[in-house]
């Protein structure tokens, strides 16, 4: 009950955030965004034809009216039809979001898990050459651009100059084997790029927790290493870890996959959004930006509730 009350209260305080995000995005992407009029009118249009198209696109209404309509669309979750393809925005999103998730989740999960494992190894051997090797490797990994990794992995795994094991681009998934064929190289690239950052972050958290008094006491009482790790170290380090993972989720869903999607030619939501920006497909933009902002607020709430779950001292008041 407390959690429900808290969530409702937080949802209400999240409204200014959603308004801010939608307003800034609306001004940038819709109000000053590309004008679609001349793409839609025929050759040698008359003034009436131009006016008609502008009316259909809603360009002739005032700023306040257009923003108000956007908020209404957001509240009712009905964004109408795409300007470019005429498809319903909701059906585009239903089609593309699962593709992006299927593309990004394996790399995201494995990147974090491997990061925690490497961080544990480094922290356990703190100060030795194992630690230095892992941390040195992390700095090297952090210094290689995502784009370079993608191109290099494509050369290594998908081209005739390398192993040529996987398809270069595309997403024709009809079975689990197809899925593995298309998802492997993007996943490897995602893991490679995130691993350095993750390892450093998790090592810092773990090392900090390992130095605390209660860990030393538990060790002195002869607590077995696994229990020490799970109960004394990871449980206490859970808050920064949860924060990091939770806050990457909204961005990973939208922009994390944009580069991979555009390079590998995968029709996910990142690619669709990017195309919408460059062509000025306003209904799609409005939907994606609005949903991302809403997702952020929901993430903030879940994040706080998870704090409460791992640390009973946290008050939800």
Partner 1 sequence: MSESAAVTTVDDLETGKGPSESLWGKAWYKFRRDMPGMVSLGVVGIYFLIALGVWFGIWGQGWSDNNGPMWATPSSEYWLGTNVIGQDIFQRAIYSTRTAFEIGLVVAVLSTIIGALLGALSGYFSNSWIDEIILWLMGVLDSIPFYLFVAAIAFALQGNPYSMHVAMIATFWTTTSRLVRGEVIKLKNFEFVEAAHAVGVPQMKIIFRHILPNTNHILLVQSTIVFVGAIKSEVILSFLGLGVSDGVSWGLMIAESTQDVQAGHFSNFITASTFLFFLVMAFNMFSDSLQDALDPKKVH
Select from 117, 139, 230, 309 the one that contacts partner 1 (CB under 8 A).
139
Q: Let me know how many helices (H) and strands (E) the chain has, helices first.
A: 15, 0
Which CB sits closer to partner 1, 14 or 111? 14
CB of 308 to partner 1, least distance (A): 21
Contact mark string toward partner 1, 231..270, x via CB under 8 A: -------------------xx--xx--xx--x--------
CB of 46 to partner 1, least distance (A): 27
Per CB under 8 A, contacts with partner 1 among 9-28 are: 16-17, 20-21, 24-25, 27-28
Select from 161, 174, 176, 221 the one that contacts partner 1 (CB under 8 A).
161
CB of 245 to partner 1, least distance (A): 16
Select from 12, 32, 129, 174 the one that contacts partner 1 (CB under 8 A).
32
Select from 41, 101, 121, 204 the one that contacts partner 1 (CB under 8 A).
204
Select from 29, 119, 188, 229 the one that contacts partner 1 (CB under 8 A).
29
CA diameter of the chain: 87
Q: Could you tell me which residues are beta bridge partners of residue 88?
A: 81
CB of 25 to partner 1, least distance (A): 6
Which CB sits closer to partner 1, 161 or 174? 161
b/e 73-93 (16+ beta carbons within 10 angstroms → b): bbeeeebeebbbeeeebeebb
- What does the alpha-carbon distance between residue 89 and residue 79 come to, in Å, rounded to a whole number? 6
Per CB under 8 A, contacts with partner 1 among 279-308 are: 280, 288-289, 292-293, 296
CB 199 within 8 A of CB 138: yes
DSSP assignment of 299-313 equals HHHHHHHHHHHH-TT
- What does the alpha-carbon distance between residue 65 and residue 44 come to, in Å, rounded to a whole number? 30
CB of 57 to partner 1, least distance (A): 16
**Through-space distance between the first and last CA atoms of the chain, rounded to whole angstroms:** 13
Which CB sits closer to partner 1, 206 or 229? 206
Number of residues that bind partner 1 (CB under 8 A): 49
CB of 259 to partner 1, least distance (A): 6
- What does the alpha-carbon distance between residue 40 and residue 49 come to, in Å, rounded to a whole number? 10
Establish if 195 lies at the interface with partner 1 (CB under 8 A).
no
Select from 42, 86, 127, 312 the one that contacts partner 1 (CB under 8 A).
127
CB of 234 to partner 1, least distance (A): 17
- What does the alpha-carbon distance between residue 263 and residue 137 come to, in Å, rounded to a whole number? 26
Secondary structure of the chain: what % helix, strand, coil (to 5)? 75, 0, 25
- What does the alpha-carbon distance between residue 224 and residue 197 come to, in Å, rounded to a whole number? 29
- What does the alpha-carbon distance between residue 214 and residue 220 come to, in Å, rounded to a whole number? 10
Closest C-alpha to 111, from 199, 34, 207: 199
- What does the alpha-carbon distance between residue 176 and residue 277 come to, in Å, rounded to a whole number? 32
Residues that bind partner 1 (CB under 8 A): 16-17, 20-21, 24-25, 27-29, 32-34, 126-127, 139-140, 142-148, 151-152, 155, 159, 161, 204, 207-208, 211, 250-251, 254-255, 258-259, 262, 273-274, 277-278, 280, 288-289, 292-293, 296
């Amino acid at each position: 009950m407390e959690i429900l009350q808290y969530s409702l209260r937080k949802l209400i305080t999240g409204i200014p955030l959603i308004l801010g995000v939608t307003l800034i995005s609306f001004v940038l992407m819709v109000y000053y965004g590309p004008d679609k009029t001349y793409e839609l009118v025929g050759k040698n249009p008359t003034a009436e034809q131009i006016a008609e198209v502008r009316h259909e696109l809603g360009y002739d209404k005032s700023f306040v009216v257009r923003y108000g309509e956007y908020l209404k669309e957001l509240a009712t979750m009905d964004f109408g039809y795409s300007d470019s393809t005429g498809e319903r925005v909701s059906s585009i999103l239903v089609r593309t979001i699962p593709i992006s998730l299927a593309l990004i989740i394996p790399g995201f999960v494995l990147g974090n898990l491997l990061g925690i494992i490497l961080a544990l190894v480094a922290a356990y051997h703190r100060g030795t050459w194992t630690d230095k090797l892992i941390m040195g490797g992390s700095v090297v990994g952090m210094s290689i651009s995502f784009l370079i990794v993608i191109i290099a992995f494509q050369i290594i795994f998908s081209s005739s100059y390398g192993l040529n094991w996987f398809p270069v681009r595309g997403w024709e998934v009809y079975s689990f084997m197809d899925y593995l064929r298309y998802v492997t190289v993007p996943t490897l690239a995602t893991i490679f790029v995130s691993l350095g950052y993750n390892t450093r972050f998790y090592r810092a958290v773990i090392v900090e927790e390992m130095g605390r008094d209660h860990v030393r006491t538990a060790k002195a009482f002869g607590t077995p290493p696994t229990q020490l790790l799970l109960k004394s170290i990871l449980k206490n380090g859970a808050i920064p870890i949860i924060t990091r993972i939770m806050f990457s989720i909204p961005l990973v869903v939208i922009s994390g996959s944009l580069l991979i999607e555009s390079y590998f030619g995968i029709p996910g939501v990142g690619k669709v959004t990017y195309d919408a920006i460059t062509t000025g497909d306003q209904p799609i933009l409005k939907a994606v930006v609005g949903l991302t902002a809403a997702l952020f607020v929901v993430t903030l709430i879940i994040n706080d509730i998870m704090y409460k779950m791992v640390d009973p001292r946290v008050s939800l008041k």
